[in-house]
Structure 1
Amino acid sequence: MEVVALLAVSVVLGGIILLLAVWSRKEKDVSEPEPSDHKANGQAVPEKQQSKKLKQQKPRKERTRQHTFSHHLLASALKAHSGNITCLDFSSNGKYLASCSDDRTVRIWSTKDFIEKEHRCMRANVDLDHATHGRFSPGCRTFIVWLANGDTIRVFKMTKKEDAFIFSAAHDDFPKRHKASIINIGIAETGKFIMTASNDTSILIWDLKGEVLASINTNQVANAYATVSPCGRFVASCGFTPDVKVWEVCFGKSGEFREVCRAFELKGHSAGVCGFAFSNDSRRMATVSKDGTWKLWNTDVEYKKQQDPYLLLTGQWCGIEPARIALSPDGRVVAIASVSDIAVYNGQTGQIEEEFLSVHAEIISDLSFDTTNRFLVSTGDRAIRVFHNTAGYRAAIADMKDLLKKATNKGTKDRLQQQIKDAQSALDAVSKQGK
């Protein structure tokens, strides 16, 4: 009996081992393809054709959806660029807006078309490069751009023929002088100099022919922003340190360059300054800092007698970088762009008046008021958003009503009453459009 039992056990174990061997072979056949080419319709497909076929079967990338934005204060959206817009600049006469893009073009827009359905623009091509910054000359006969790949300035002439402008390079590009990336360029309203600033600590002052007149070391660890004042006398910068430094670019009576000398500083923030802006007459400045505050300053001081600018107002903002700040031409309204959002503040009370959320698909690259104080414009993707400056109308009306109370002359009273009436009519018209 024991022998029979042992034989039975041996047979069972042998059967199990045989089944496992067969199962293992089947698994191997399934998991390991033949080393030869895959077959299609009974024919071997060579490896090259096979990989080509697999590439063709890759799913197509979905087209990026165009960012949509709507708001009752949005006057218009200017769309003509095929690439992201890097910079905006209004001409000093208020007639034009220039926009630079990585699509290798600069577009010149007519500001009188802002509230029209059709938005005309003229195109200047930037050959074999693209512009990251652009600025109009004082007479709007030329504009300058910073070349992204060339790392230098190119000057374009604007020649008007009938109803169109012809754009051409005025002369050879400026020589390369900066060792770090450019953060901004500017041209003085006086037409006497050009400024370029890089993200290290250097600012260069050039003449209009491309000769370096002076070099400034800001001593701010790293420059965050720099610009030329609207009056054309000053160059200012901010950076890692909690202050803004302002220099005067001095020329002699016959127009010859003399020197760059320290004018004044804005001190009061407790952390680095992200950006700043001038009013149109350069008598006011606004600053925004990493400390979560923005400040409005009176810079109409006798700095040559060591008089310091004085603080007018401190406001709060969300403190999320990257940030940009714009000051209305009359100094009454402050706008701050934080990432892709915009907040508009009253320059008298510091209170927020308007808020625009997710304005652009990308980080806002530029923010500015137009010279007439009617519009606030922003960009960060392929579109330029134009907003009605209702906060400006309200601030102007409040100021003029205060002046009216103090006025004693009949002519002054009549003039103020008419200005209040005009501003209120404009505000009412905007409000009516938004409904």
Structure 2
Amino acid sequence: MADGEEPLPVVAVTAAVGAVIMLVVLLCNVLKKDKKDTEEAAGEEEPPQDTKQDASNKAKKQKAIQRPKKESRVAFTHPWLSTSLKGHSAPILGMDFSPNGKYLASCSDDRVILIWSVKEFSQKEHKSIRVNVELDHSTQIKFSPDSKAFITSLFVSNTVRVFKIGKKPDGSPGNVTAVLDFPKKHDADILSIGISSSGKFIMTCYKDTTMTIWDLKGEVLATIDTHQMTNAHGAVSPCGRFVASSGFTPDVKVWEVCFDKSGNFREVTRAFELKGHSSGVYSFCFNSDSRRMATVSKDGTWKLWDTDIEYQKNQDPYLLKTGQLGFTTPSLVSLSPDGRTVAVAHGNSLQIFNGITGVLGKAIEDIHHEPIKALGFDTNNKYLVTTGDKHIHVFHNVIGYQATVDDLVEKKQKAKNSSLKERIQEQIDTAKTALKSLGLES
């Protein structure tokens, strides 16, 4: 019996060990499953860092996609448009034609001045001379009488900088260098600048009621109080004798800057006033010989004046024409060099009037994407240029040709001898030929 009873405990022990092992394995599997379930639950509550970054990027992408697109801008076109000058990367603030008629200079918020060739206005491609304005940007620009230099008003410094234009061997403009900064003498912002055609003085007109007369070296010759509450515009007459200002008051005040026979400054004396508007004058302009002036006012009219007077004999300017505008908002006016065309800009639109008849010849809408900041005629009365954004639009002066025909026909009727009538007829034929070349009839 003793030998037969030994195997039972061995079997029992083996069975017990197997049961323990199975129990351990089962517990391990249960624990693993619980851990996995816990991790998955945690994963649902808070994604890993990479997942969060991806989600953030997607949100940004979605936001970018949902951002409204900029409205596509259609390039401006018009039958009278000769060309558009493109080169600035920010809005253009000022322009000026050189007295020799060869160049147009433009200054911009992009700290750049570009000088364009007028003879290329009829071409598709336009080259320009680039001038960088160091540490500032120019708001206004004016050529010197000899077209060999120009001045600009500086936005930050609030003063005048003088640039000299070099010359290449072929006579074309060369390097342009800044040669002088005037001292800052006034806190109010510069509104307008100008140079006398005699080369004797420079004018700065400020936004308060101050106008300053300088010599060419930056020394103050005189300071004028315009008594207009606030100035709106200032200019030097092309004849080089006068400075003028307009503002809140319904008139334009004109002074003569006087020099003695030796060329030394003597005084500034009140010359005459343009009176006739019933509200403030936004802007005014002289023609090339200073015998005509055009004004535009808050009263909703423009006026053309005969300023060929002897003010020392108490003669007053004579009103020639008054035109209705249909708006009273801030406006700019430009008078062609021959005094036959009046252009008025308001907002981003333009009205062009026949200065001989006073009739509106053309209204052109939506010329620029922003309000027109500057406009003017070239020295030969061929073009009218405007700017209100990064581009300059160059228009054929069609109304000018038509006004020339009207003026010459009237003069021909008054002519007393045949030779004079023949010369006038030749000029009429020339103007009509110019209109035909543009596909228009007089």
Structure 1 length-normalised TM: 0.86
The CA deviation at 1:70 is 1.1
The CA deviation at 1:405 is 2.0
2:348 maps to 1:311? no
2:64 maps to 1:59? yes
Match of 1:169 in 2: 178
Q: Is the 8 A contact 2:332 2:374 kept in 1?
A: yes
2:48 maps to 1:43? yes
Task: Pick from 353, 370, 377 the counterpart of residue 369 of structure 1.
Answer: 377
Tell which deviates more after alignment, 240-249 or 316-325: 316-325
Task: Pick from 96, 100, 105 the counterpart of residue 107 of structure 2.
Answer: 100
The residue type equivalent to 2:178 in the other structure is A
Shift of the 54–212 alpha-carbon distance from structure 1 to 2, 3 Å rule, reads farther
Shift of the 414–104 alpha-carbon distance from structure 1 to 2, 3 Å rule, reads same
Q: Distance in 1 between matches of 2:53 and 2:263?
A: 72
Match of 2:85 in 1: 78
Q: Is the 8 A contact 2:285 2:294 kept in 1?
A: yes
Q: Is the 8 A contact 2:298 2:330 kept in 1?
A: no
Tell which deviates more after alignment, 319-328 or 356-365: 319-328
Secondary structure of the structure 2 residue equivalent to 1:170: strand
Q: Is the 8 A contact 1:38 1:44 kept in 2?
A: no
Map residues 243-282 of structure 1 onto 2, 5 A cutoff: 243-282=251-290
Q: Distance in 1 between matches of 2:335 and 2:273?
A: 18
Q: Distance in 1 between matches of 2:186 and 2:59?
A: 48
Q: Give the CA RMSD over aligned residues.
A: 2.2
2:134 maps to 1:127? yes
Task: Pick from 234, 239, 242 the counterpart of residue 247 of structure 2.
Answer: 239
The residue type equivalent to 1:286 in the other structure is A
Q: Deviations for 1:43-94, whole angstroms, at most 9, x for unmatched residues?
A: 1469999767755654177456445211101111111111110001011111
Match of 1:24 in 2: none
The residue type equivalent to 2:429 in the other structure is K
Shift of the 38–153 alpha-carbon distance from structure 1 to 2, 3 Å rule, reads farther
The CA deviation at 1:399 is 1.4
The CA deviation at 1:321 is 2.0
Shift of the 313–38 alpha-carbon distance from structure 1 to 2, 3 Å rule, reads farther
- Structure 2: gaps spanning 5 or more residues: 1-41
Q: Distance in 1 between matches of 2:61 and 2:137?
A: 34
Secondary structure of the structure 2 residue equivalent to 1:418: helix
Secondary structure of the structure 1 residue equivalent to 2:435: helix
The CA deviation at 1:310 is 1.3
Map residues 219-238 of structure 1 onto 2, 5 A cutoff: 219-238=227-246
The CA deviation at 1:95 is 0.8
Task: Pick from 154, 160, 166 the counterpart of residue 159 of structure 1.
Answer: 166
Secondary structure of the structure 2 residue equivalent to 1:59: helix
Match of 1:33 in 2: none
Task: Pick from 421, 431, 434 the counterpart of residue 423 of structure 1.
Answer: 431
The residue type equivalent to 1:221 in the other structure is M
Q: Distance in 1 between matches of 2:377 and 2:103?
A: 13
Q: Deviations for 1:169-207, whole angstroms, at most 9, x for unmatched residues?
A: 113x11111211111111111111110111100000011
Aligned positions, number: 396
Q: Distance in 2 between matches of 1:288 and 1:49?
A: 61
Match of 2:216 in 1: 208
- Tell me which structure has the larger Cα radius of gyration: 2
Match of 1:16 in 2: none
Task: Pick from 383, 396, 400 the counterpart of residue 392 of structure 1.
Answer: 400
Match of 1:218 in 2: 226
2:343 maps to 1:338? no
Q: Distance in 1 between matches of 2:416 and 2:438?
A: 32
Q: Is the 8 A contact 1:181 1:199 kept in 2?
A: yes
The CA deviation at 1:403 is 1.7
Tell which deviates more after alignment, 407-416 or 357-366: 407-416
Residue identity over aligned pairs, in percent, reads 53
2:150 maps to 1:143? yes
Shift of the 315–164 alpha-carbon distance from structure 1 to 2, 3 Å rule, reads closer
The CA deviation at 1:395 is 1.1
Structure 2 length-normalised TM: 0.85
Match of 1:118 in 2: 125
The residue type equivalent to 1:168 in the other structure is T
- Structure 1: gaps spanning 5 or more residues: 1-35
Secondary structure of the structure 2 residue equivalent to 1:263: strand
